Structure 1
């Protein structure tokens, strides 16, 4: 205990930027590990079953929090909007796991960097946020990076990457819905409805295609659920400590981890175009974030 206390004091004494970078790196590692586990599980188990296992165990790890906030966290007058958000969020996971069942881990990870780019387009469409030619240039650059990774019409084309793209689109819609919901409900309410809707929506599809998992696969699902909570908590903590433009570059390490896990555990060697396309997408995302942050800052 003394050692842990010493580590805690030492870490808290570090500059805020270093703490933020650490938490973003932890989130990136956990994300890469989670898609690696999903890649392993979906080789034998149906996508819906793996997604349900992840959601159920994530809910278990969040039970202490749910018990603390109580049923008040579920009160809302916008159940329909929560239901749509839950469906889109479930689709985000289903598409992602479907992509991981047939496509290399590193390629899928590279495509997920499109999230802030697609979210910015949706923000213009749904919230009429003002944009500039430079922002559109960053957006187009990001999509060019996606084309480099996916390479439609070429021999190396993997249709599974279209599922990854669908996952990113669904995730971007979720981000927009959350932005709208937070105008009416607390973050606790939004989070509580997410866990419940994920489990309810995924239950029937999972039962229909159910394959009895081994004990080892159940343990992997437990790890998947735990990593899901780590990803969110570490990411949120990082963003709370420093500006997005400072910490987002460390999120790129998830592509490095994903490539390493793919190589070590699945003998997958990402080609040069995965690295080139992933880098283009990531740099475009950081560029777009910097522009958006600069526009929000008051002059002077």
Structure 2
């Protein structure tokens, strides 16, 4: 989920053990809505840290470091209190997933400082489309005409937002596209990890490795944050940890096909935050592009559910 995690760094339903909580669709929806609000809050704080809203702008790598640092503190504390049973981790897939997630989060934070949050969030919704395409060579999956149609629709919406070949094309949109690609690669590793380890263990290992990577990357660009920036960094990390926890628990209480559509509320919260805090309102072109991307992503999610039922 992931910066992002929309849905940047999420745990699929297969990663939830059969001994998890009892189904509760109403609570699952509430948890998913909370997750989207927290995810949008991370991009809002990243934008504040990457602009002059809280002082001299911080480099995206430093913002990403703060996200992993404070998320790790929150998750490590939870792990110490709950003391779940841990098993031997699949380090190769964890490292691959974390590298892609860290890259996606860093690019997303950079994009959030340059373009409206609603545009950056909408473009990030391409990550399941990239994940579908990458699953062909890396997982040997077969993609039918419906899923290719969904991908084409989503990319058409992205082109409206990016506007390639015109003077209106913004580097921030390309950074958001790069973030979606990285998060698409992350989905490949998530699929390979799903069902092998518990969700809390996966979150802890992901954030631990991410903290190591981010700590090394930030050395070249580190600058002392102001007190307000420290507070925003802490809030960003805690918001991401809360988003991951809400997402995992939502998926554990209802079918993915039921709760996944509510994840698109991230776009609504991002536009709301951007409008209230920074006075940036989405343009009609932004609304059109975002709507088309969501339509493509929703069609893809529907086909995934149909295929899952056929396999079952």
* Structure 1 length-normalised TM: 0.87
- The 8 Å contact of residues 75 and 203 in structure 2, kept in 1 or not, is answered as no
Deviation of 1:250 (Å): 2.1
Instruction: Please show how residues 3-14 of structure 1 align to structure 2 within 5 Å.
Output: none
* Deviation per residue, 1:110-137 (Å, 9 max, x gap): 1111122211112222112222111111
The yes-or-no answer on 1:283 pairing with 2:295 is yes
Deviation of 1:20 (Å): 2.1
Residues matched between the structures, number: 285
- The 8 Å contact of residues 36 and 266 in structure 2, kept in 1 or not, is answered as yes
Tell me the distance in 2 between the aligned counterparts of 1:157 and 1:79: 39
- The 8 Å contact of residues 25 and 254 in structure 2, kept in 1 or not, is answered as yes
Q: Secondary structure at the match of 1:155?
A: coil
- The 8 Å contact of residues 61 and 106 in structure 2, kept in 1 or not, is answered as yes
Aligned twin of 1:20? 28
- The 8 Å contact of residues 73 and 188 in structure 1, kept in 2 or not, is answered as no
Q: Secondary structure at the match of 2:126?
A: helix
Aligned twin of 1:50? 63
**Among 92, 103, 111, which residue is 1:99 paired with?**
111
Inter-CA distance 84–248: structure 2 relative to 1 (3 Å threshold): closer
Instruction: Please show how residues 1-300 of structure 1 align to structure 2 within 5 Å.
Output: 16-43=24-51, 44-67=57-80, 73=86, 75-76=88-89, 78-182=90-194, 185-298=197-310
- The 8 Å contact of residues 87 and 197 in structure 2, kept in 1 or not, is answered as no
Whichever of the two has the greater Rg, that structure is: 1
Tell me the distance in 2 between the aligned counterparts of 1:138 and 1:243: 21
Alignment gaps of 5+ in structure 2: 1-22, 52-56
* Deviation per residue, 1:198-251 (Å, 9 max, x gap): 111111221221111111111111111111011112122222222333223322
**Aligned CA-pair RMSD:** 2.3
Tell me the distance in 2 between the aligned counterparts of 1:273 and 1:244: 30
* Structure 2 length-normalised TM: 0.84
Alignment gaps of 5+ in structure 1: 1-14
Tell me the distance in 1 between the aligned counterparts of 2:108 and 2:189: 19
Tell me the distance in 2 between the aligned counterparts of 1:88 and 1:274: 27
Q: Secondary structure at the match of 2:125?
A: helix
